[in-house]
Amino acid sequence: MVLASGKPLEIIGLTEFTVNVNGLIIPIYARVARYVTHDLILGTDFLRENGVIIDYNLGLVSLNEDLVRVPLQTEFKQRNLFTNVEAVCLPADAEALINVRCPRYFEGKTVLLEPVPSLQFSVCAAARSLGRCINGKTVCRVFNPNPFSVVLRKGMRLASIQTTDVIASCSPYKEAKPCKQTPRRILNKQSDAQLETFGEDYGFTINSPFAHHNLFSRMHMGVRNDPSLGPVFSDSFSSTKN
């Protein structure tokens, strides 16, 4: 047996047991593997023999001609989750590396921290990252997308645990070098006369800062010549001009 990454799965034994699916007792003959995160992985042979139908639209799994139904997804078990070590206040639009507690089963191992879909962005967002479990702890990168501060309480579930066997390849991150910004230059400069001719030919109305110069001048002269405004306005305007 091999994993999705192509690595061989270490089999250490065989076993027989039964599972209870909503009251339906099903006998199972299975292989026992080392370092598997999930308690039980059901293969296509089980699905075929028990007439399993997976309905992604309704989020249900039915067995034996719809004899029993179970939810397609359930909450992660506590032993497969990283939980917050202590209460942390995270400011708005900020991210931080937070100490999280991991099960002793992963002690001394490098694991993959995965966001929990049902928890992601409900209060905060956890980044997918690699961490090494030492003394039952590791670190998790958390981001607060809210415009206000949030408190991550002690024992809060932040991420799920995956072994590194699910990783097909991994390469170090290389920060891109900043591009040199060169000053912009005009490739084909046109004269004002050429631009005016182009605008007239195509009927463009160009908003020039001098387009209303003549109109403003006429209004200015009309205001100064209006006797109803009095000499005060005329003097103040003249002093501003000087």
List, for residues 105-135, the tens digit of each pLDDT value. Answer: 788 888 888 888 777 888 889 998 888 899 9
User: With bands split at pLDDT 50, 70 and 90, how would you rate the model's confidence at 184?
Assistant: confident
CA–CA separation, 139 vs 101, rounded Å?
8
> Considering the chain, what is the average pLDDT of its residues?
77
* pLDDT given for residue 37 in this prediction: 66
DSSP β-bridge partners for residue 195: none
**What pLDDT digit, counting tens, does each position of 130-158 carry?**
888 999 899 999 999 999 999 999 988 88
CA–CA separation, 101 vs 81, rounded Å?
8
Element (H or E) spanning 7, and its range? none
Q: List all residues 6 or more positions away from 31 whose beta carbon is below 8 Å from its beta carbon.
A: 1, 11, 13, 14, 15
Instruction: Pick the more confident residue, 29 or 189.
Output: 29
How far CA 117 is from CA of 7, 53, 61, 81, 114, in Å, comes to: 27, 23, 19, 12, 9
How far CA 182 is from CA of 135, 177, 189, in Å, comes to: 52, 15, 18
Tokens of 69: 């139904």
Domain boundaries, the chain: 11-71, 78-166
Q: List all residues 6 or more positions away from 18 whose beta carbon is below 8 Å from its beta carbon.
A: 25, 26, 27, 28
- Architecture of the domain defined by 78-166: Distorted Sandwich (2.70)
Encode burial over 142-180: b for 16+ CB neighbours within 10 A, e otherwise.
bebebeeebebeeebbbbbbbeebeeeeeeeeeeeeeee
- pTM for the whole thing? 0.46
DSSP β-bridge partners for residue 159: 82
Q: List all residues 6 or more positions away from 160 whose beta carbon is below 8 Å from its beta carbon.
A: 76, 80, 81, 82, 113, 114, 115, 116
User: With bands split at pLDDT 50, 70 and 90, how would you rate the model's confidence at 5?
Assistant: low
Instruction: Pick the more confident residue, 212 or 32.
Output: 32
